[in-house]
Amino acid sequence: MGRSPKALCGAFTRAALVGALLVAGAPLAAQERMTLGIGRMFSNDYLGDGEDRWRTGGYQMSILRGPMWDGMLPAQPGSLLEFRLRSEIIAPSELSTPPAWDRRYAGVLSFGLHSHFALGTAEATAGLDLVAMGPKTGVGSVHDWLHEQVSAPAVSVVDDQIGNRIVPTLSGELGRTFALGSHAELRPFAEARLGDETLVRVGADLNFGQIERGALWSRDTVTGHRYVSISGNSEPGASFVLGGDAAYVADSVYLNGGGNDPDPEENRFRVRAGMQVRGERMGLFYGATWLSEEFEGQPEGQVLGSMRFRMNF
């Protein structure tokens, strides 16, 4: 008898993430480390479709440390490390009296360690995050306080949020960049995740314009937008990105927490576009991402806006 798609997804994900376990357990290179760069991305649906619902907002920061950066990934896993910090608010469509079909509130804090390395001609990332959720994260309390400051409706759904727990989460990505002339790049990628959400994903990103060369990029967990975490070189000007991906979801702790929680949609899709304007010392990025429905009964998708400002000294 054949195995179910969910069982196959889980088995494939576990196999794909063996490398992440090896990275986490391998001894780190005995070299002096320094901070090579810091990247960050802020996303909120107020910057997109103007609503306050579902994957409503998040902030992700990456701190890159290693012995050096010459614009090329090291071959050794564990040499170039990304310390990843992330917060996220997941909410129903109404923050006071949500409909019965809607998802539950979740305040999320995540702390992770990831390694960036070359795998032949491919670019690999693998690592482990500890994903915390529940009232003890304080995310829901901060969300409610911010609403009070701007006289917005109280976030009463925090009283029924997903309970306190910490979920170890392995993730890995494999991609390869193809030059399309001197001002365009196509980067297909595959990703696997096992933990708070168990999924496999494939997609691609197309960059064109004044592309930043020799930079290291990290990927935002929710939108899929990539952001610079170690600066490279480019002429002042504008660059653009178009991207998209499709995922098969086997499980999600945000959508099976008990009670009347809805079940996750097995298939998810993301479509994104963005623009970066870069000067001699400053850069500004804005992007928009359409997220398809994530749970059964969700009436429509949503659009998140993402921003990043950086200054080089």
Tens digit of each residue's pLDDT (9 = 90 or more) over 280-297: 778 899 999 999 999 999
Q: Which residues contact 144 (CB under 8 A, 6 or more apart)?
A: 154, 155, 158
E strand or H helix at 305: strand 302-311
pLDDT of residue 1: 47
Q: Which residue has the tokens 């901070």?
A: 35
The candidate with the shortest Cα–Cα distance to 295, out of 144, 158, 91, is: 91
- Contact of 132 with 109, CB cutoff 8 Å: yes
Residue 38 has pLDDT above 70, yes or no: yes
Mean pLDDT in residue range 14-38:
62
pTM here? 0.89
Domains and CATH numbers, the chain: 5-311 (2.40.128.140)
Q: How far apart are the first and last CA of the chain?
A: 62
Mean pLDDT in residue range 132-145:
94
- The mean pLDDT value of the chain amounts to 90
Percent pLDDT > 90 in the chain is 75
Residue 68 has pLDDT above 70, yes or no: yes
Mean pLDDT in residue range 230-236:
87
3-state secondary structure of 5: helix
What residues are paired with 64 via a beta bridge? 37, 82
For residues 94 and 157, give the distance between their C-alpha atoms in angstroms, rounded to a whole number: 8
pLDDT of residue 256: 79
For residues 182 and 196, give the distance between their C-alpha atoms in angstroms, rounded to a whole number: 40
Q: Which residue has the tokens 């950066």?
A: 69
What residues are paired with 305 via a beta bridge? 44, 288
For residues 25 and 128, give the distance between their C-alpha atoms in angstroms, rounded to a whole number: 11
Tokens at 124, concatenated = 């690999």
Mean pLDDT in residue range 23-45:
77
Mean pLDDT in residue range 146-164:
87
Residue 24 has pLDDT above 50, yes or no: no
For residues 127 and 138, give the distance between their C-alpha atoms in angstroms, rounded to a whole number: 25
Tokens at 216, concatenated = 């290291």
Q: Which residues contact 173 (CB under 8 A, 6 or more apart)?
A: 124, 125, 126, 189, 190, 191, 219
pLDDT of residue 29: 46
pLDDT of residue 124: 98
pLDDT of residue 76: 93
- Contact of 80 with 62, CB cutoff 8 Å: no
E strand or H helix at 142: helix 139-149
For residues 177 and 265, give the distance between their C-alpha atoms in angstroms, rounded to a whole number: 30
Tokens at 230, concatenated = 């170690």
pLDDT bin (cut points 50, 70, 90) of residue 139 is very high
